[in-house]
Amino acid sequence: MNSLSRAAVLAASVVLASTGSAFADFDLEILHNNDFHSRFDSINGYDSACSAEDETAGECFGGAARLLTAVNETRDALEAEGKNVILLNAGDNFQGSLFYTTYKGAMEAEFMNMLGYDAMTVGNHEFDDSEDGLKTFLDIVTFPVVTANVKTNADSTVSGMIEPSIVLDIDGEKVGIIGAVTNDTPELASPGKNIDITVDVDAITAEVKKLTDEGVNKIIALTHVGYPRDLAAIAVIPGVDVVVGGHSHTLLSNTDEKAEGPYPTMVDNPDGYQVPVVQANQYGKYLGDLDVVFNDDGVVTSAKGDPILLDASFEPDADVTAWIAEKAKPIEALKTREVGESTAQIVGDRNVCRAEECSMGNLVADAMLARVKDQGITLAIQNGGGVRASIDEGPVTMGEVLTVLPFQNTIATFQLKGSDVVAALENGLSQIEEGAGRFPQVSGMKYTYDLSKEPGSRVVSVEVADGNGGFAPIEPETVYGVVTNNFMRSGGDGYAVFADEGMNAYDFGPNLEDAVAEYLGTNSPYTPYTDGRITNVAK
């Protein structure tokens, strides 16, 4: 449908409604969640694992058992009212706890089958263990997985297992669901040589045409591209009626002052109508609940709702609680082994570590540098997005360290010219506004930057440790020894300069989580700190 006809339909709908001759309405309730990240256990107010004491006190949120209760109770209540209800998942169910480390997607698949999704899109973390890891998941799930910009070749182990879109028949109405994953998935994860990630807008646009040609006029874009891109690029695709998103872990709400925007956020589409955009934060803490009304021509005439906070008012499902406990048995010994003690909370919150110096970033960078200091390595750079949780004050277990660093990355070392170190920092500072994971946490150096400047020109100054307790300006032509994780060293999170310009690279050092655990033990009791090694002069 072109923009004139779409706008004309909307205008006609308004006129007919005013004269009492409105088109037939179709009311659809969309329940949704995103970025579950293998958080089967409930979480506390800091989004860290909840203790049994906190659970007893009613101070825990989310968790698989509570999520199942919330979905079942909400869906049953809505259907009892005669509502049409669908359940959607916007990706990144993998990675973030020892359950994923142990079961590699199989446990996520089993649980998601219990929830009874109507569709999901893959997230970038679904490719963390290549397409083979994703296949483990796809072999088990009993619902459709749709991602239009995932293109597999004939050699792919998941060829034919991911569709670009599906059409649901709901009470006689056709509703199209088109999926998409973030364009930079090859930088963020490891899809492998048999999978191409094409441009999200192009893939969705092509699929919209296909569906509209088939007579489908109600189309939901189920995306894992992030709230900013949903607003700027996805919701303005002609023919897209609703966007259900993930990736940026965004809280939208009409009542929570910490929300990044209203739920739903309405976007003007060039076809002359408004598109509701929604997202439901992270870790199963919220269940999104959007009530959308379409007229007979597929135009959204009403969109309202709010995310449901999964607090103590939802009783965790007993069967799922028992299932999780059974799954936890093989990893309990690993989780409970103490590796050190912290005198205060070590802050690993994504909103901090992806935007500024954080105490967890300092710990990880310091631990990497300490592990290889006898190898001529003087600088450490760690991506803030590689830090996945905080650690509370008190004894620190290996399970907590693995929750912070769940990717099983190895320590990687190489040599790099000073000018390329600065280029790497520019990359790390280029997407702060989007909450990207590339923000550089560092050790053995300090830098200042200006967030008011354009990406690519934000670095103001860089100084490196001089070996005598002081710092000196970095020298563009001097070659420095650098340590990072193997994901970044191979170009992940946009650090192509490491892959292209790094010399004498060695990517197979000890696992990063082991190095951090060892560092905590050596320095126990450990006192978390920030020391101004990263400064934004625009503040």
- pLDDT range class, residue 6, cuts 50, 70, 90: low
Domains present along the chain, CATH in parentheses: 24-323 (3.60.21.10), 337-536 (3.90.780.10)
Length of the chain: 539
Answer with the residue of higher pLDDT: 50 or 256.
256
Is the predicted pLDDT of residue 475 greater than 50, yes or no? yes
Answer with the residue of higher pLDDT: 7 or 18.
7
Q: Quote the pLDDT of residue 3.
A: 35
Per the structure block, which two tokens stand in for 357? 């110096």
Q: What are phi and psi of 508, to 5 degrees?
A: -120, 40
- Beta partners for residue 291, in sequence order: 29, 304
pLDDT in tens, 31-78: 999 999 999 999 887 676 787 888 888 899 999 999 999 999 999 999
Residue with tokens 């968790």: 63
Q: Calculate the alpha carbon distances from 100 to 37, 94, 349, 399, 445 in Å.
A: 8, 6, 20, 12, 34
Is the predicted pLDDT of residue 462 greater than 50, yes or no? yes
High-pLDDT (> 70) share of the chain, %: 95
pLDDT in tens, 155-206: 999 999 999 999 999 999 999 999 999 999 998 888 999 999 999 999 999 9
| Beta strand extents in 369-439 (DSSP E only) | 379-383, 394-397, 411-417
Mean of pLDDT over the chain: 93
pLDDT in tens, 479-515: 999 999 988 998 999 999 999 999 999 887 788 998 9
- pLDDT range class, residue 13, cuts 50, 70, 90: very low
Is the predicted pLDDT of residue 10 greater than 70, yes or no? no
Contacts of 497 (CB under 8 A, 6+ apart): 416, 420, 423, 424, 427
How much is the average pLDDT of 118-141?
A: 96
Q: Quote the pLDDT of residue 406.
A: 83
